[in-house]
Chain A
């Protein structure tokens, strides 16, 4: 029962869970793509999109797990902290001459600055709220999140934030900078490395698959986000498998008990809150900024995003880092991305045309025995309907498996294997 073997076997199991989930997602999307008659490049691009969503959800859910799963900090303002992260990084890195203008600083400065800004907003929100009961933190964070969105949305600051339309074209991500001489133009002359990679992907590439520049850039950028996810995961696993993790768990379980043992819980809560907010900022930067040449606008950070992230964490199991990634993957892939695709396939397969626009129009024909209009209406509105499925699943989970997929595991917060008894101990024969 040494730490090494135990830790390693859990690592293997966990890697197996994630690999299994990704395999499942890839098979599902391969089938969906084939059914929709996508070309190979289209299928690959849809797999890239799923991987991207899994990775960015994973990042955000991991950050929330640190708050809620470990320390019991009920933060329902995740979207706001993500917005601060990405907005700050764009403001720091956008060219000086752009509209809205930026400071033209290098990308690493932008990323660090974004995380720092999210942590500072966390500090401002947390200083008063963390002194109060946990429900006040929830109220405070959702309010802060909305204040952030409205501030970015406001006309008053639009010369800095772009107002409601935000930043149309945010600075190119690192992969573009690496592969293209002029990162802002996809048709620009590639760098030597870029030329080699583009050549490989386009012609000699992986068997018969030929991928153009945009696909190549997207795939490599997504891989970069996956690398960031792995790093954040490793960071958090180390951080919580330690005396620090024990204090966080004790705060979640019984703060008074932790205080009575000399733990300055307010300080731990504030530090942890700031750390989690910084990671949420990072998640925001990766979500909107890593691929680049996309836009970022205030309404991308509606409170729904926070709830999606919460749902993903509940599915995966609060308190488990692996569960967080798993929950993020299953939510993003199966519950968020797949249903509209399935609806499109069904609509085509069943030949449903002229679906009614309203529920009344769909209900009426049922009386005369016609079910097709209702079916058409439901398939047409799958983007909204999927959240009813999510709701049903959530009710089921909370009743039948409140601990989520992996929340039941006892993940001991320690840097060593605590079960190792000292050699000079007299053994555990206690007969009383």
Chain B
């Protein structure tokens, strides 16, 4: 078992590694301003986000921000607008109104691939592994801007050498990542044969192979058995210590309370409360929204 997540250390964006080295290249005023107010950067800001589907308002003016290097939880009862918020942030839906900023750049309405290429990747509530491709192929797909994604480079004899050498390097990173997630023993099987929990692990591992700055996890623990759940949470903590930022949608209050340092509670499309675990536990509005559910 690997104690050190090799690829993670190499993948960390320089600008979020330590508080002192905050985003040296970006001179965006929003980030600078945020940096002044808090010791860490604010990679993600959601401002007055609104999404209507016909007559239904799924997200109704939600605003929040996520600190760099944090594990932020996003919770709320069913229909609170969590998934729609995720979809608006990642470009799956175009918001009706409001703004999403990532590293000071307005990313509202960008295509999903454009959002992902800026270092903001997501996983899905129902894992979207590529069933008829092997675990290795799934992982190798993820790295951004591979030379061999161009047909010409893949086919032309002289240029293919670069394609091969890059793939050899990536292959190494992929194996390390698979070891980190303990998926290496099933690397060569088709992803469609994996168990629910393994699919979740694969999806997270694959998302990390894009070399992201921030990962949005949409219910990463749904359908995962307790042993794997423990392992997954352990990995998330390790990665977070290495500098990744996580926004974590989860149904299970206890898990969020235990693991997230900052919690955002959504209800009926709005942000109902925000703060640490204790603030949320003692927030009457939250208790009421969860209608008697035990949040203490």
Contact = CB atoms under 8 A, between A and B. Distances in A.
Contacts of A261: 113, 116, 121, 141-142, 206-207, 210
B92 to A, nearest CB: 7
Contacts of B129: 257
B155 interface: yes
Interface in B206-225: 206-207, 210
Contacts of A428: 179, 184-185
A246 B151 contact: no
Interface stretch (B56-64, B71-79, B160-168): B160-168
A259 interface: yes
B56 to A, nearest CB: 22
B131 interface: yes
B163 A243 contact: yes
Nearest to A245: B154
**Chain B interface mostly:** helix
A73 B39 CA distance: 50
Interface residue tally of chain A, by bracket?
35 or more
Interface residues of B, number: 55
Given A257-B130, A415-B167, A421 B117 contact: no
B176 interface: yes
Nearest to A420: B171
Contacts of A416: 164, 167-168, 171
A347 interface: no
Contacts of B155: 235, 238-239
A425 B176 contact: yes
B91 to A, nearest CB: 8
B167 A414 contact: yes
Interface stretch (A10-18, A97-105, A186-194, A247-255): A247-255
A250 B133 contact: yes
Contacts of A410: 134, 190
B149 interface: yes
A430 B182 contact: yes
Contact of A425 (B131, B142, B179, B231): B179
Contacts of A271: 151
Contacts of B124: 256-257, 260
Interface of A: 235, 238-239, 241-247, 249-250, 253-254, 256-265, 268, 271, 275, 410, 412-416, 418-422, 425-426, 428, 430, 432
Interface of B: 1-2, 90, 92, 111-113, 116-117, 121-122, 124, 128-134, 136-137, 140-142, 144, 146-151, 154-155, 160, 163-164, 167-168, 171-172, 174-176, 179, 182, 184-185, 187-188, 190, 206-207, 210, 227, 231
Given A259-B111, A415-B160, 8 more contacts: A242-B148, A247-B141, A254-B130, A261-B210, A415-B163, A415-B167, A422-B176, A432-B231
